[in-house]
Amino acid sequence: MLDNAFYITIMFIGLSTFVGMIIKKLHRDKCLKDFAGYMVTLEEKGGKDVWGKLRVENTGIELAYPETQTDADGHLEASYIVYKFEFPNIAAFVRYHDGLSEAGKKRRLRDLDRTYHPGFFRRVKRKTQNFFKTIRDAVAEIMNLLISKAKKTSTAGGTLTSQDKYVTQMKQELIGSVGTSYEPLLERYIGHKIVLEVIKGDRIVECAGVLKDYTAEFIEVMDVDYKKSEDTPVRKADIVVLRKLGIVRHLAE
């Protein structure tokens, strides 16, 4: 019996590690992925701006500088890394149109056209994704119910109870992998012009543009006349801001 419990523990450790590894490898925020490979300006709440080519991973983002830079202490720096737990310090990701290469501009225009005029498969894919997002909580509840019931049985109860840590870890990985919160109020306006209220310090700025997408953490708007501050010129841009800082307030068409 002791040997069985030992092997089952090893199995749960291996399974939970494997599931976590696969999900972390595949799951990246959709809004940030749209900006991946582009030259992007990262605005931090403290006022710091960083410009570079964006790389997105499950654990955070990296901006690769176009040229190696030397900091105040004389250190050579080639990139800037922001970890996921630091995301609350981000004010916005800004992709300025006049800073894109010709290939980047063409790629961006294709993406915008697909947003305005989604094809059949794109619409089906989104509806399918939204269906699974709406049943996510129900699935979590069913899993909890089944595991709780299994724990009460004489055969599996003791084993599952002893593996609580790994069972919980797998549930969190599987359920947490659905990174987008389904929002019916926003869903119908995907591909439409909207007005986004963005909190910038102690003021609220309105940005009109095309709602491209949203996730649990971010919201993405394209074709915005963007000003970082009162004394900076207006530039055409696409932006990604934290959901906590950006609220879709109006339909603009």
Q: Where are the domains of the chain?
A: 30-117+184-251
Q: Which helix (H) or strand (E) holds 63?
A: strand 60-70
pLDDT at 169: 55
Q: Exposed, middle or buried by CB within 10 Å (0-12, 13-18, 19+), for 215?
A: buried
Structure tokens at 160: 């599952």
Q: Residue 18, SS3?
A: helix
pLDDT at 121 over 60: yes
Cβ atoms 234, 185 nearer than 8 A: no
Q: Which residues contact 177 (CB under 8 A, 6 or more apart)?
A: 23, 26, 27
pLDDT at 191: 92
> What residues does 218 pair with on adjacent strands?
242
- The per-residue pLDDT for range 180-203, each reduced to its tens digit, is 467 888 988 999 999 999 998 888
- The per-residue pLDDT for range 190-238, each reduced to its tens digit, is 999 999 999 988 889 999 999 999 998 999 999 999 998 888 899 999 9
Residue type, 208: A
pLDDT at 153: 60
Question: 122 or 185, which is more confident?
Answer: 185
pLDDT at 118: 74
Sign of CA dihedral 46, 239, 131, 189: positive
- The per-residue pLDDT for range 77-119, each reduced to its tens digit, is 999 999 999 999 999 999 999 999 999 999 999 998 988 777 7
Q: What is the dihedral of CA 245, 117, 28, 211, to 10 degrees?
A: 0
Question: 167 or 187, which is more confident?
Answer: 187
Q: Which residues contact 139 (CB under 8 A, 6 or more apart)?
A: 175
Q: How does residue 69 score in pLDDT terms, banded at 50, 70 and 90?
A: confident
Torsion angles phi and psi, residue 203, rounded to 5 = -135, 165
Predicted TM-score of the model (pTM): 0.74
Sign of CA dihedral 33, 15, 178, 58: negative
